[in-house]
Amino acid sequence: MLASRIPLQTAGAVGSSPRAGAAATPAGSLRAGAAAALPQSLRAGIFAALAWSLASGPAGADPGAADHWPLPPGQLERILAREDFEVRSVSGDVGGVMGVRKLGVFFPRRGHELTVKWKRAPDGDADGWNNTPRKEIAAYEIQKWFLDPDDYVVPTIVTRCIPLDTYADIEPDTNPNLPGTRCVMGVLVIWIENVGIDDPIYEEEIFRENPRYARHIANMNVLTYLIEHEDGRRNNFLTSDDKTDRRIFSIDNGVSFGARVKNWFVWNWNSIRVPALPEQVIERLRGVGPERMGGLGVLVEQRAGDDGVLRPVARGENADPDRGSRVSEGWIQLGLTRGEIEDLQKRLDDLLARVDEGEQPLF
């Protein structure tokens, strides 16, 4: 067991520009240059964690991996986005946040009830400084670049425009929030189970001693770094009740991608804070090309039918790359802006360059 405290800055903070002409170091359990930059005690801890992790089996085979989602994420995406439901229960102002509701929704076709979080989108263009469905969806999609569903750190989320007659069970006497519709647009987020709020969520000693925890929190940190998450309030993160498989989930990702307003009063997760990152994650990120990056420009497209209810349609060309929310009568398209995608590309390039230069340790 390692007893000495290793400063967070041991691994450095991602953000500086890479040096030109640096050569990649050979792949290994821990990159050679990065390992040399770490104190001996931390190197030993990471190598021990690697051995334990390899002995435990494949990355997605951790016990309890499916304990938090009631159904597989892909199945939930289809159900929440497309299938009719009835509202069975409503709890108001979840976590003290105005306008956020906890709903029990019943899907007659399946005879199944799910618990979800509902957040109504801002009126007019469904885009606000701290209520941005497009950024929440982008965070969920970006994790797919480098994580398998069993390791997702953002709960399943979809945009949904709820018909006014159904929405009356949530909020009576309401009006549509988008032009040319008879529904209320917002996001449905699956209510993950067996989790709570811990403080702190990052503990260096546990990182060195527990490879499952190290992998889970490193996965989360990679995502929060890429999306430039800048609201580190503790209630924006949840942790598994099972401390033998301590997973960390980022449940509110709206203050991200260069948000105009950010939380200056807490320690945010927009930099790499953990000492080392999983090599498998980095290798998968190397495969992100222009098509996947550019695809973030159109994440959602919905059109109203004769009943005035917006429903998903095939995503078309980006109607305005410099705007994240594109709205007209009975139609909406959401995605990241050109500038947000360019910034994301730079953050990814900087991270990979730091790895290749031996400045970012891997395990």
In a domain, 274, yes or no: yes
Q: What is the mean pLDDT of the chain?
A: 85
Tell me the C-alpha distance between 348 and 282, whole Å.
Answer: 10
Q: Which domain holds residue 171?
A: 31-363
Question: What is the per-residue pLDDT for 43?
Answer: 47
Task: State pLDDT tens for residues 179-198.
Answer: 999 999 999 999 999 999 98
Six token digits for residue 288? 């992100």
Beta bridge partners of 157: 189
Decide: helix, strand or coil at residue 165.
Answer: helix
> For residue 58, is pLDDT > 50?
no
Cα distances from 272 to residues 42, 137, 177, 332, 359, in angstroms, run: 17, 22, 38, 35, 12
| Mean pLDDT value across residues 36-49 | 46
Q: What is the 3-state secondary structure (H, E, C) of 186-232?
A: EEEEECCCCEECCCCCCCHHHHHHCHHHHHHHHHHHHHHHHHCCCCC
> For residue 61, is pLDDT > 80?
no
Question: What is the per-residue pLDDT for 10?
Answer: 39
In a domain, 289, yes or no: yes
> For residue 168, is pLDDT > 50?
yes
In a domain, 144, yes or no: yes
Are 225 and 272 within 8 A, CB to CB?
yes
Q: Which of 20-24, 41-45, 56-60, 220-224 has the lowest mean pLDDT?
A: 20-24
Task: State pLDDT tens for residues 290-302.
Answer: 999 999 999 999 9
Are 267 and 13 within 8 A, CB to CB?
no
Tell me the C-alpha distance between 27 and 33, whole Å.
Answer: 11
Q: Which residues contact 3 (CB under 8 A, 6 or more apart)?
A: 205
In a domain, 11, yes or no: no
In a domain, 334, yes or no: yes
Percentage of residues of the chain with pLDDT beyond 90: 74
In a domain, 22, yes or no: no
| Mean pLDDT value across residues 113-131 | 95
Plot region of 297 (φ>0 → left; ψ -120 to 50 → alpha; else → beta): alpha
Tell me the C-alpha distance between 240 and 192, whole Å.
Answer: 10
Q: Which residues contact 308 (CB under 8 A, 6 or more apart)?
A: 176, 180, 181, 182, 183, 330
pTM over 0.75: yes
Q: How many CB atoms lie within 10 A of CB 76?
A: 22
Question: What is the per-residue pLDDT for 95?
Answer: 55
The total number of structural domains in the chain stands at: 1
> For residue 332, is pLDDT > 70?
yes
Six token digits for residue 211? 């490879």
Question: What is the per-residue pLDDT for 198?
Answer: 87
Six token digits for residue 71? 């159904």
Higher pLDDT, 28 or 363: 363
Q: How confident is the model at residue 267 (pLDDT cuts 50, 70, 90)?
A: confident
The angle subtended at Cα 293 by Cα 33 and Cα 251, nearest 5°, is 85
Backbone dihedral angles phi then psi of residue 18, each to the nearest 5 degrees = -70, 155
Task: State pLDDT tens for residues 195-237.
Answer: 999 889 999 999 999 999 999 999 999 999 999 999 988 889 9
Are 184 and 176 within 8 A, CB to CB?
yes
> For residue 361, is pLDDT > 80?
yes
Six token digits for residue 62? 């951790």
Tell me the C-alpha distance between 19 and 12, whole Å.
Answer: 15
Question: What is the per-residue pLDDT for 97?
Answer: 55
> For residue 344, is pLDDT > 60?
yes
Task: State pLDDT tens for residues 142-166.
Answer: 999 999 999 999 999 999 999 999 9
Q: How confident is the model at residue 264 (pLDDT cuts 50, 70, 90)?
A: low
| Mean pLDDT value across residues 261-288 | 91
